[in-house]
């Protein structure tokens, strides 16, 4: 019985032209050989199964070949090529760094590097999985990499470049290998199937290429597995059953039913998927990929992102023509949220079913929105556009007037002026105690400017500078219940009337300005409009920095002041062992 050789070994590329999916790298290496610009150290990095070690072997064989042709490929006839093909070459050395990762192994390699080649020009050292070397081994390897003998060339291969120390990377020419495209994998599998006399459906090979995730070696291993199951004929059904892959049909059926709003059909399709033994998480993940493929099929410029056979592409184009773009966007959002929250759900099946029901309701919501837009009358829109918007000053004046009238009406109905404020009986706050002097006391609130009906019921008179001075004094007197700080602030304010339309309020600092604008400017406007006949009035605030007092108090002075004013603070300081910070 003939010994079976796996396809990954049997069809391993023997020259640069047979390497799949790494054209830029093979072209660069061939150019370096042609111009004789060979580096001392190369680093081949990339995912598994993309040809790193294969390219390293081809490169080593080619630079030692004594009869290179015009295409810069090894001749397979000279002694160097024959010894390489029969695995007896003494010029090409392979080292597995995963099992030889100690300092002693690297020291042995350093001693071996000094020996010149017996046949050929170079001694090539291929070190696979170089990231597995220990930090001590890396350091022992540094000097040899920096100043190797002229006949020595190192080719390092790794799948995890980030684990290699920077001092090693700086001494290498780095080549990043790409994942192999599905089209290239399918082409290679068709070549292998033809040589082996196997009939394979293109859709079946495409599923193998998707499952391989860009690794040609994995694709060839899966191909051998399928051949062992189905023999000389590979069908799409055999592949999806053997690889436990969900059929495209379920995703097409789900989207078609969701477009029609058929909740029952969608739930039955999902139930059929579960009965076949597939995981619900895999289903929702595959559905998200299907929706993504429908979205990229919407535009010709993104159609090339769809990795599928021509037959499947045609079906995607047919279905995406029925799907609005908004439906695809919202469906992807629902599917992504379902995927993210799947593991945290205590009832995963219900979690997915609710997401599928949401998909079915998307089209109904879109139809209702379109009907609502159609029902909007363009004449009504035109009338709304013709109505001018009120200015900001008019809006503020109306709000102040309405608030004043509302307060008067509420007091007239209730017969009371004082609002009742309930506070917790057994709780207190230092902030409340300290700020009591700036809050209006309950016994003086009946004299508040906004709460005094007598102020609003007085007949309005003409606005003059003399009348404004009298009104300002009355306004200040009404604020006596607001606290000593507010009263002292208004006593220091110097109002200035300009052009009978603008009142300038001179303040001492920015804090006073903020307090006046937020709390007392609306009250002043309301008070003036209740006293005088005004067409429009503007109040400007000005901060006089020159008059700001620069008196600074120490922390101890502030504490003594507060303790004298609030003796309870002294007990608190002693009880809680507080200190000044």
Q: Are 471 and 528 spatial neighbours (Cβ–Cβ below 8 Å)?
A: yes
Between 577 and 29, name the one with better pLDDT. 29
SS3 199: strand
Distance CA 206, CA 187 (A): 10
User: Cα–Cα distance between 218 and 184 in angstroms, integer?
Assistant: 14
Q: Is the pLDDT of residue 379 over 60?
A: no
CA distance 261 to 255: 10
% of the chain beyond a pLDDT of 90: 35
- List Cβ neighbours of 464 (8 Å cut-off, separation of 6 or more): 500
Which pLDDT value is given to residue 375? 55
What is the β-pairing status of strands 92-96 and 532-533?
Answer: unpaired
Give pLDDT tens digits for 172-186.
999 999 999 999 999
Instruction: Give mean pLDDT, residues 395-424.
Output: 48
Domain range 182-242, CATH architecture: Orthogonal Bundle (1.10)
Q: Which of 37, 80, 86 is nearest to 60 (CA)?
A: 80
Confidence of residue 241 (pLDDT cuts 50, 70, 90): confident
**CA nearest neighbour of 207 among 230, 233, 235:** 235
Q: Where are the domains of the chain?
A: 7-176, 182-242, 248-373, 394-419+448-547
Q: What is the pLDDT of residues 344-364, one digit of tens each?
A: 999 999 999 999 999 999 887
The reported pLDDT for the residue numbered 422 is 41
Q: Are strands 494-498 and 502-507 parallel, antiparallel or unpaired?
A: antiparallel
Do 248-373 and 182-242 fall under one CATH topology? Answer: no
Q: How confident is the model at residue 394 (pLDDT cuts 50, 70, 90)?
A: low
The encoded tokens of residue 373 equal 């837009």
The answer to pTM > 0.75 is no
State both tokens at 301: 């410029």
**173: helix, strand or coil:** strand
Asked whether the predicted pLDDT for residue 42 surpasses 80, the reply is yes
Report the C-alpha gap between 469 and 503 in whole angstroms.
Answer: 11
Structure confidence at residue 53 (pLDDT): 92
Reply yes or no on whether the pLDDT at 510 is more than 90: no
Condensed to tens digits (0 to 9), the pLDDT of residues 307-318 reads: 888 888 999 999
Superfamily of domain 7-176: P-loop containing nucleotide triphosphate hydrolases (3.40.50.300)
Residue 479 has pLDDT above 90, yes or no: no
- CB-CB contact of 10 with 221 (8 Å): no
Q: CB of 128 within 8 A of CB of 94?
A: yes
Per-residue pLDDT band for 554 (boundaries 50, 70, 90) equals low
Cβ density class 325-339: b for 16+ within 10 Å, e for less: eebbebbbebbeebb
Most confident of 118-127, 317-326, 533-542, 561-570: 317-326
Compute the average pLDDT of residues 534-563: 68
**Predicted pLDDT of residue 416:** 44
What three-state secondary structure class fits 285? helix
Question: Given this model, what pLDDT does residue 384 score?
Answer: 45
pLDDT of residue 218: 92
Q: Per-residue pLDDT averaged across 45-67, rounded?
A: 91
pLDDT over threshold 90, residue 432: no
Please check the confidence at residue 35 and state whether its pLDDT lies above 50. Answer: yes
Using the predicted structure, report yes or no on whether residue 477 has a pLDDT greater than 90.
no
Residue 423 clears pLDDT 60, i.e. is over it? no
Element housing 496 (H / E): strand 494-498
Torsion over CA of 256, 262, 267 and 273, rounded to 10 degrees? -20
CA end-to-end distance (rounded Å), the chain: 91
Please give the class, per CATH, of domain 248-373. Answer: mainly alpha
Query: Does 402 score more than 60 pLDDT?
Result: no
SS (H, E, C) 503-533: EEEEECCHHHHHHHHHHHHHHHHHHHHHHEE
Dihedral of CA atoms 137, 140, 143, 144 in degrees, nearest 10, equals -70
Half-sphere exposure (Cβ direction) of 341: Cα atoms closer than 13 Å: 15
Residue 447 has pLDDT above 50, yes or no: no
What is the reported pLDDT for 460? Answer: 75
- For position 348, what pLDDT does the model report? 92
Q: Which of 211, 221, 217, 201 is nearest to 282 (CA)?
A: 211
């Amino acid at each position: 019985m003939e010994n079976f050789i796996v396809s990954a070994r049997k069809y391993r590329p023997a020259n640069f032209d047979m390497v799949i999916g790494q054209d830029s790298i093979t072209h660069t290496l061939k150019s370096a050989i042609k111009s004789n610009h060979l580096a001392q150290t190369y680093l081949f990095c990339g995912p598994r199964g993309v040809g790193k070690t294969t390219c390293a072997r081809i490169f080593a064989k080619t630079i030692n070949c004594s009869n290179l042709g015009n295409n810069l490929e090894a001749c397979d006839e000279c002694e160097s090529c024959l010894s390489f093909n029969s695995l007896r070459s003494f010029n090409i050395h392979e080292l597995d760094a995963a099992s030889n990762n100690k300092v002693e192994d690297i020291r042995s390699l350093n001693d071996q590097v000094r020996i010149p080649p017996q046949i050929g020009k170079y001694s090539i050292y291929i070190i696979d999985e170089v990231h597995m070397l220990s930090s001590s081994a890396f350091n022992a390897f540094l000097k040899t990499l920096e100043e190797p003998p002229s006949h020595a060339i190192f080719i390092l291969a790794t799948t995890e470049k980030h684990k290699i120390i920077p001092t090693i990377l700086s001494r290498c020419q780095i080549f990043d290998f790409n994942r192999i495209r599905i089209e290239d994998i399918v082409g290679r599998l068709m070549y292998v199937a033809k040589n082996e006399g196997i009939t394979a459906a293109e859709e079946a090979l495409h599923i193998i290429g998707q499952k391989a995730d860009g690794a040609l070696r994995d694709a060839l291993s899966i191909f051998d597995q399928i051949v062992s199951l189905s023999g000389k004929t590979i069908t799409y059904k055999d592949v999806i059953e053997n690889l436990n892959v969900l059929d495209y049909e379920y995703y097409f059926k789900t989207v078609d039913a969701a477009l029609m709003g058929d909740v029952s059909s969608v739930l039955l399709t999902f139930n059929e998927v579960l009965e076949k033994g597939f995981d619900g998480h895999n289903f929702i993940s595959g559905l998200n990929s299907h929706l993504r493929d429908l979205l990229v099929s919407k535009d010709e410029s993104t159609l090339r992102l769809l990795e599928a056979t021509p037959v499947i592409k045609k079906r995607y184009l047919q279905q995406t023509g029925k799907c609005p773009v908004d439906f695809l966007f919202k469906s992807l959002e629902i599917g992504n949220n379902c995927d993210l929250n799947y593991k945290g759900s205590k009832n995963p099946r219900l979690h997915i079913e609710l997401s599928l029901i949401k998909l079915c309701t998307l089209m109904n919501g879109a139809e209702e929105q379109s009907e609502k837009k159609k029902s909007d009358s363009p004449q009504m829109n035109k009338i709304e556009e013709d109505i001018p918007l009120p200015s900001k000053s008019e809006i503020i004046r109306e709000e102040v007037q309405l608030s004043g009238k509302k307060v008067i009406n509420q007091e007239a109905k209730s017969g009371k002026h004082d609002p009742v404020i309930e506070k917790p009986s057994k709780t207190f706050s230092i902030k409340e105690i300290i700020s009591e002097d700036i809050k209006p006391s309950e016994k003086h609130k009946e004299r508040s400017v906004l709460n005094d009906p007598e102020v609003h019921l007085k007949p309005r008179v003409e606005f003059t500078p003399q009348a404004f001075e009298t009104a300002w004094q009355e306004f200040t007197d009404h604020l006596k219940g607001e606290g000593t700080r507010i009263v002292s602030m208004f006593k220091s304010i110097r109002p200035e009337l300009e052009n009978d339309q603008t009142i300038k309020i001179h303040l001492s600092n920015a804090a006073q300005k903020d307090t006046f604008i937020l709390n007392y400017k609306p009250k002043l406007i309301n008070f003036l409009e209740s006293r005088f006949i005004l067409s429009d009035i503007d109040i400007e605030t000005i901060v006089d920095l020159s008059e700001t007092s620069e008196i600074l108090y120490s922390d101890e002075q502030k504490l003594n002041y507060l303790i004298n004013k609030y003796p309870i603070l002294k007990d608190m300081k002693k009880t809680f062992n507080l200190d000044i910070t």
